Amino acid sequence: MSGNHRVLLNSEKCIGCGLCASDCVASCIKIQNGKATAGQEGCIACGHCEAVCPQSAIVLTGFEEESESFNTQTRLDPQELLQAIRTRRSIRNFDNKEIDRDIVDMIIEAGRLAPTGSNSQNTCFIVLDKSKNELEKSAVKLFRSLTGIAKPFSKFLSRVDIDDSFFFKKAPLVIVLTGNSVNASLAAENMAFMAEANGLGALFSGFFTVCANSVPKIKKTLGMKRGEKAVTTLVIGYPKVKYYRTARREKARVRRV
């Protein structure tokens, strides 16, 4: 994230309520003489101070987008959300139908808005476009060579056919997420939910992620810098299969201490 961000306080609007100071994770804001004052050192530009101020007395500079005002936070229906989670499936059979650009942008936006540690905002979204087929071909070549060696030791690999669409399943959209493992994982889950909300299905391709981190040619095509790590790969498209029942799950392992 860019470091060109500053907290600007309007003392005329400030009523000294202290909400910004109490909500500042970096303890950069203090109340002095009935007014808020901000120190820039240590600020992580999370924007909580601007969001919590009832008087619009705080502005966080350096962003292209404007802050959006709202009166009530949007809440999802708990039972509907739980049912959406319960009926989700990983999709490996996709219809040959392109996804509108507006929907793709919405999916990426859902990832962009995910929380990140220390507000680092360091997740990168690599959309496989013209290079998608070539990248899959390189990954298939690698896996075929590896499975030839591993098949005698793995029942799974002995049964699986590594065909030309083994990784992307003929899906129209593939997005590789790089960055911090927790941050990128949170973003990917947001994106999978947004895909589902638009009538799409998603697959988290761990196999291609391994290839993205292992094959220099793939890393170069993805434009990955030295030290940059692929965390997960989202394969997205319209499902060609319909499910009629939920999948059984073991009980949650809960430990209360």
User: Which residues share a beta bridge with 230?
Assistant: 178
Indicate the class that CATH gives domain 7-60: alpha beta
pTM of the model: 0.90
Instruction: Tell me the Ramachandran region of residue 231: left when phi exceeds 0, alpha when psi lies from -120 to 50, beta otherwise.
Output: alpha
Superfamily of domain 78-237: NADH Oxidase (3.40.109.10)
Read out DSSP for 165-199? TTTTTT-SEEEEEES-HHHHHHHHHHHHHHHHHTT
pLDDT attached to residue 181: 96
Dist CA 84 CA 52 (whole Å): 31
Dist CA 13 CA 171 (whole Å): 52
User: For the segment 122-159, what is each residue's pLDDT rounded down to a tens digit?
Assistant: 999 999 999 999 999 999 998 888 776 666 656 666 67
Are the C-beta atoms of 179 and 190 separated by less than 8 Å? no
Distances (CA, A) of 203 to 26, 32, 112, 124, 209: 37, 52, 19, 18, 12
User: For the segment 219-228, what is each residue's pLDDT rounded down to a tens digit?
Assistant: 999 999 999 9
> Do 78-237 and 7-60 fall under one CATH topology?
no
- Sequence spans of domains, the chain: 7-60, 78-237
